[in-house]
Chains A and B, each alone.
Chain A
Amino acid sequence: MNVIECRGLSKRFGRTVALHDLSFSIKENTITGLVGPNGAGKTTLLKIAAGFLRKTAGEIKVFSSPPFNNLKVSANTFFVDDNMALPATLNLSETLDAARRFYPNWDHQLALRLFDYFSLNPRQLHKNLSKGMKSTFNMIVGLSARCALTIFDEPTVGMDAAVRKDFYRALLQDYLQHPRTIIFSSHLLKEIEDILEEVLLLREGQKRLHLPADQLREYAVGLRGEEDTVKRFTAGKEIYRREQFGKNSIFAAVRNSFTKTELQEACAAGLEVLPVSAEDLCIYLTSRSRGGIDDVFNRN
């Protein structure tokens, strides 16, 4: 069963196109990573799915219903981001108690244990928390709510590396015990790719890739060596990234549609065959120029 289904989804803010003709679906009980550069439309997409924003055109269904202003969707969706509005008058412990009343599946034991583990002060006010602590608190609420669809929009803002690591682990553990649909938007694909089942890559409001996360690492391959040789092997293929190396050498990242023998031939011809990490692939696929930042400095 699909929890989210989009067909031709578009969103405009005035004259700005935030999402354009987006079609995809998210299967039940999967963890999907939503990645893409700033301004790719990640937050807009998530806010439409959560029912906060209206779509401009196309179709989106969450739990088989249009999500905008939909109580059923709201009751089964939790949206965590770094500007969650909470009453300035309640301290953290009171806020937890308030959140608890809204969600029938709420796990208060988990909330309290995480609260303890991350040494949050129950008497503190949410507005007085540091950025990282705020993110930690929001994450705890998001996990404990145990909603069928849990959306984390850049949930790790301000968290230090150790807390982020704990968070990913907590997320996975809780997911294993209570499978549910989780969408996680992040810039730090390297940190989260192992716990993802799928990756949805956006670029300028459009879908660039939607793949099982473990296929991402094999999706592309890098060839490095003498320019003519590289060109010979990459002929007819879309080049995701091309970098100059020394005098006559280049590095080119292309779709990995080579057979094993082809790759061996490339090696034999003196080329280096390099893996392209998931993170690099996403950067290559969403950057505006094929040469990357170096294009700014090399003007010939």
Chain B
Amino acid sequence: MMSLTETSLWDAVKKQYVFKLQSYANFFVSLVIVQLVALLFSAGGMAGTSGIGWNNILVEVKLYSGTGIFIFTVLCTLANSVILTLPFYRNIDFSFVGSRLSGNMANIGFLVTAGLFGGITATLGSILLRNIHYYTGGGGEILKSFFMITPGELVTGMAVAVLYLILFSTAGYFAGVVVQLHRSLLVLLPALIVGLIFYEAANEQIRIFSRLIEFFVFERSPFHFSLKIILIASLLWIGAILLSNRKEVR
């Protein structure tokens, strides 16, 4: 007689997580490539504007470039989180051992890992960009006082980037799970979001998105900021788990 194997939830999650890291290793490679491309674009921007009045424009380019890498990282992570919810990728979870809960938890683990990786590389990328500025652009007097950052600032910068990436990927994952509930939501959900944005832009009184952005961006306390993101992300994760827990697969 074949004895039954006992598998704990945690065990299944770990195995699925490792499987995902191995299967989707190319995500990390493509993310770095995207970041390098963003870096190149940003560096190119600097070269183009270097001919005219140095001081003003340099400040602008710097601001733009650091954000450029981050925006590309966000887009890449967001796309990745939505892809994970597509039926084919969801079904991979059920080729081997797993439940809906364990698959979702492994996905969360993977997205957090991707957020950590993306946040750290994006921050390092923007520092690299500053260095490129400094050494190729000749780095004027004014630059220097803002140039050096303390290790504390570096870590805070990374942490903020990581937390934002986790927030975005979680939102993307949640949206993906919602869309998978019914075909029509693929059209309805984006339409709803875009519609609300336009509606808000047209009406002074409606302030849904701006409030949402203020909720995170205007938070000055790092502790509260982290707490807010973890809280919202957890709610979205729980929502995604509950929504997909009854879903039929394969």
| Interface residues in chain B, defined as those with a beta carbon under 8 Å from any beta carbon in chain A | 1-7, 9, 12, 15, 18-19, 22-26, 88-89, 91-92, 94-102, 245-246, 248-250
CA distance A89 to B23 in the complex (A): 6
With both chains docked as a complex, state the minimum distance between the C-beta of B94 and any C-beta of chain A, in angstroms: 6
- A181 CA to B92 CA, complexed, in Å: 24
Contact between A94 and B98 (Cβ–Cβ < 8 Å)?
Answer: no
- Smallest CB-CB A-B distances: 4 pairs: A87-B23, A85-B91, A75-B7, A102-B96
Q: Are A99 and B1 in contact (CB under 8 A)?
A: no
Given contacts A53-B248, A85-B91, A85-B92, contact A98 B19 (CB under 8 A): yes
For residue B25, which residue of chain A has the nearest CB?
Answer: A89
Which B residues are in CB contact (< 8 Å) with A102? Answer: 15, 19, 96-97
Residues in A whose Cβ lies below 8 Å from that of B246: 54, 69
Q: CA of A85 to CA of B23 in the docked complex: distance in angstroms?
A: 12
Q: How far is the CA of A86 from the CA of B23 in the complex (A)?
A: 9
Q: Is the CB of B4 within 8 A of A87?
A: no
Q: Collect the chain A residues with CB atoms within 8 Å of residue B24's CB.
A: 87, 89
Interface size on A, residues (CB 8 A): 38
Judge whether A219 is part of the interface by a CB distance below 8 angstroms: no
Query: Within the assembled complex, what's the spacing in Å between the Cα atoms of A300 and B18?
Result: 67
Assess whether B99 is in contact with A28, with CB atoms less than 8 Å apart. Answer: no
- Asked if A168 is at the interface of the complex by the 8 Å CB criterion, the answer is no
- Asked, given contacts A52-B249, A71-B98, A74-B98, whether A105 binds B22 with beta carbons under 8 Å apart, the answer is no
User: Within the complex, what minimum Cβ distance (angstroms) separates B204 from chain A?
Assistant: 46
Complex-state Cα separation, A147 to B2, whole angstroms: 8
Supposing A85-B91, A101-B15 touch, asked if A74 and B97 sit within 8 A by C-beta, the answer is yes
B15 pairs with A28, CB closer than 8 A: no
Give chain B nearest CB distance to A107 CB in angstroms.
12
Residue A63 at the chain B interface, CB threshold 8 Å: yes
Output the nearest chain B residue to A148 by Cβ-Cβ distance.
Answer: B2
- Check if A90 is an interface residue, CB within 8 A of chain B: yes
- Interface membership of A130, Cβ < 8 A: no
Q: Tell me the smallest distance from the CB of A11 to a CB of chain B, in Å.
A: 10
Question: Which chain A residues lie closer than 8 Å to B248 at the CB level?
Answer: 52-54
The complex places the Cα of A101 from the Cα of B18 at a distance, in Å, of 10
Q: A29-B2, A75-B4, A98-B19 known; 7 other A-B pairs, CB under 8 Å? A: A71-B97, A74-B7, A74-B98, A79-B250, A89-B23, A98-B23, A148-B2
Chain A residues within an 8 Å CB radius of B249: 52-53
Q: Is A47 an interface residue (CB 8 A)?
A: yes
Collect the chain B residues with CB atoms within 8 Å of residue A89's CB.
23-26
B250: chain A residues at CB < 8 Å are 47, 52, 79, 83, 85
Q: Which residue of A lies closest to B99 (CB)?
A: A71
With A71-B99, A90-B23, A102-B15 known as contacts, the answer to whether A28 contacts B1 (CB < 8 A) is yes
Q: Is the CB of B99 within 8 A of A29?
A: no
Whether, in the assembled complex, A76 has its beta carbon less than 8 Å from a beta carbon of chain B, the answer is yes
> In whole angstroms, how far apart are the Cα atoms of A94 and B5 in the complex?
24
A218 to B69, CA, bound (A): 74
Q: Which residues of B have CB within 8 Å of A162?
A: none
| Contact between B5 and A104, CB atoms less than 8 A apart | yes
Contacts of A72 in B (CB 8 A): 4, 6-7
Distance in Å from the Cβ of B153 to the closest Cβ of chain A? 37
Report the separation of the CA atoms of residues A94 and B96 in the bound assembly, to the nearest whole angstrom.
14
